[in-house]
Every structure is written in C-alpha cells, then in structure tokens.
Amino acid sequence: MTKVRRAAPRALMYAFLILLLLLSVVPFYLVVVNATHSSFDIVTKLNLLPGAATAENYATMQSHVNIWRGFANSLLIAVPYTAFTGYFGALTAYGFAKYSFKGKNVLFGIVLCSMMIPSQVSIIGFYQLNLKLHLLNTYWPFILPGIANATSVFFLRGIISQSIPTSMMEAARLEGCSEFKIFNRIVFPCVIPGVVTMCIFNFVACWNNYMGPLIIMSKTEMYTMPVMIAMIKGLYLTNYGAMYLAIAISVVPIIVVFCFLSRYIINGLTVGSDK
C-alpha cells in the first residue's frame, strides 16, 4: 500500500519531466532533421525522419558562404568574450559584494542601467564609436565588452555575498594574503560553478549576436555564423535546407561547450531522499 502511494507521485513527477523533455527536444530534433531535407520539403511539410538532401544542402551552403570560416570567426569572438565575462564578472561582483565604499549603490545602479537601453538604435552610435577608435572590421568591439558584462556582475554579486563568508577573507588576510590573491586563490575557485553557469549563457548570447557583427564587419570573410546564416537564407527565402544545415552546425559547439562545462556547473544538491 505505502509502496503504491509512494510510486504514484513519483510516476507523476517523471511524466511531468518527460513532457517537458519532449517539448524541448522535439523542435530541436526537427531542426536537425530539416538539415537533411530539400528546401521544398522543409517549407511544405513537417519532416519527422531524416532525408537524403544533406550533401546537396552542404553544397548550396558552401556555394553561398564559407561556413567554416564563419564558425572560426564566431569562436574567435565568443571564446575570449566568454572568458572575460567570467573572470571580470566575478572580480567586479566581488568588489561590489565584499567591500564598502562611497557611491557603491550609485555605481551598481549604473551597472544595471547599462543593460536597459535598447540596442536597435544605439547601434548607430556604436558604429561611430568604433569608427573613431579605428576598430571597424576588427573583433575587439565584441570581445572587450566582455569585461563589462552587467548580467554576470549582477548574478555573481548575489552568489558571492551569499556563499563567501567574510570570515574567510579575514583569515586569509591574517595570513598575509594580498587582496588580489584572496580573490584569485580563494574567492574565484569557490564561485566557479556560478561563473560557469554565466559563461554558458554568455557564450550562447555572444554566439548568436547578429546585428553587431553585421554593422561593424564589412568583409564577408569576417562575418560570424548568424550573419552567414542570414545570408544563406537569401532574398527569396529559397535556401532553407542549407540554412537549417548551417543552424545545426552552429549549434554543435554550444552543445559541446555545455557538455564540457556541465561538470563544473552547479549541480544543485539533493536533500533528504538518500539520508
């Protein structure tokens, strides 16, 4: 009897999880399957099984753009950007979380406000700025802002203020550790799970950035993945097969990054059941 009573909610729970799993995986699966179908098939029916047009799609895709070049370009931007957001995000968050100084709240307010301006029109100012800095047709305008990533600061500030006891810092100071060393040797390793969580998110956001690279880059060979995907689609929306193949290719590194970083990501903790 008790067994049944315990099993029922458990079954319900798994049913719920599996429902969400289907909602998440099926559309994703459709994208991958569409990469193997011809454009006409894609726009006219819902394809559930792999097709035979992969090679054809690949040829179309490569005739429009050099996708691997775009892939490399996107990596060239996203990897250093992500690393910056992780390290400097934690550093800035640590400064805000653990030190008291004049104007702290105002400065933190500025951090938050920096996320609130819609990017659509400010892209004009962004172009002019990079023109003046002589950074057009370079990747710096996309890499360096990783140092000033407000989302990471906001998130990690909460994590650090909760999980790093001030006594830990005091102890390190008594042992003669410099403030910088305390951060690098003690604080940063402790918050790595939080940093990694943010990094995955930032990597995806950077990898999918379309408008910025389109405006700043005027050389096809410097275009990033999302810009190339938009180019493949074409003026008359006729290259869907090639477009889906490119999307499938562009998702691969994100999955790799996710799997690789999952080991470090916060796993949550399981309470009760196994005790």
Partner 1 sequence: MAKPGPNKLNKSRYGYLFIAPFFVVFAIFGLYPILYTVFLSFQKWDGLAPLAGIGLKNFQRLVTDKVFYLSLWNTFRIWLMNFLPQMGAALILSALFTFNKIKGMKFFRAAFYLPNLITAASVGLLFNLLFNGDKSVANYILTGLGVPGAPFSFFNSGPFTSGLVSYIQWWMWFGYTTVIIMAGITTIDSGVYDAALVDGATKLQTYTKITLPLIRPTLIYMTITSIIGGMQLFDVPATLTNVQGDPRKSILTTSMYLYNQGFKNHNYGYASAISVGLFLLIAVLSVLALKAMRKKGGMYDD
Partner 2 sequence: MKKKLLAMLLALSVVLALCACGDADGTPSGSPAASPASSPAAAPSGEPVPSEPTPSDSAGLSGTLEVWSSGEELGRFVEGFNQVHPDVTVNITVVPNADFIAKLTPTLASGQGAPDIFTGESDYVKYLVDSGFWDDLRQAPYSADTSDVWDYVASVGTDASGALRALSWQASPGSIMYRRDMAKEVLGTDDPTEVAALLSSNDAMLDVAAKLKDKGIKMFASWQDIMNMQFSNRAQPWVVDDRLVIDESMLDFMDMAKTIAENGYDLNVDPWAPEWSAAVESTDTFCYVLPSWGYQFVVKPAADTTKGQWAMCQGSVPYVKGGTWLGIYKDSPNKDLAWAFLEYCCLNSEAQQAYAAEYGEYVSLKSADQALAAGAGEEVLGGQNPFAFYNEQMEKIPSDLMTAYDGTINTAFLSAAKAYATGVLSKDDALQQFKDDVANAYPELTID
Residues 199, 97, 147: CA angle, nearest 5 degrees: 40
Measured CA to CA, the distance from residue 90 to residue 178 in angstroms comes to 17
173 binds, among partner 1, partner 2, none (CB under 5 to 8 A by kind): partner 1
Inter-axis angle of helices 67-98 and 104-113, nearest 10: 160
Both tokens of 44, joined, read 């006219």
Among positions 66, 145, 204, 233, the unique one binding partner 2 when judged by CB under 8 A? 233
x-or-dash pattern for partner 2, window 140-179, by CB under 8 A?
A: x---x-----------------------------------
The nearest distance, CB 36 to partner 2, in angstroms, is: 18
Q: Tell me how far CA of residue 216 lies from CA of 63, 127, 272, in angstroms.
A: 24, 6, 53
The nearest distance, CB 272 to partner 1, in angstroms, is: 6
235 binds, among partner 1, partner 2, none (CB under 5 to 8 A by kind): partner 2
The nearest distance, CB 192 to partner 2, in angstroms, is: 25
44 lies in the binding site for partner 2 (CB under 8 A): yes
**Nearest CA-CA partner of 50 in 241, 254, 262, 198:** 241
Both tokens of 87, joined, read 């390290």
69 lies in the binding site for partner 2 (CB under 8 A): no
The nearest distance, CB 59 to partner 1, in angstroms, is: 21
Dihedral sign from CA coordinates of 264, 268, 274, 275: positive
Nearest CB to partner 1, comparing residues 44 and 63: 44
231 binds, among partner 1, partner 2, none (CB under 5 to 8 A by kind): partner 2
**228, HSE (Cβ side, Cα atoms, 13 Å):** 30
40 binds, among partner 2, partner 1, none (CB under 5 to 8 A by kind): partner 2
Measured CA to CA, the distance from residue 38 to residue 59 in angstroms comes to 12
Find tokens 């389109």 and name the residue.
Answer: 214
| Contacts of partner 2 in 81-120 (CB under 8 A) | none
DSSP for 176-211, written as a single string: T--HHHIIIIIIHHHTHHHHHHHHHHHHHHHHT--H
237 lies in the binding site for partner 2 (CB under 8 A): yes
Q: Which stretch binds partner 2 (CB under 8 A): 91-99, 217-225, 246-254, 264-272?
A: 217-225
Residue ranges that bind partner 2, judged by CB under 8 A? 39-40, 43-45, 64, 123-124, 127-128, 131, 133-138, 140, 144, 211, 214-215, 218-220, 227, 230-231, 233-238
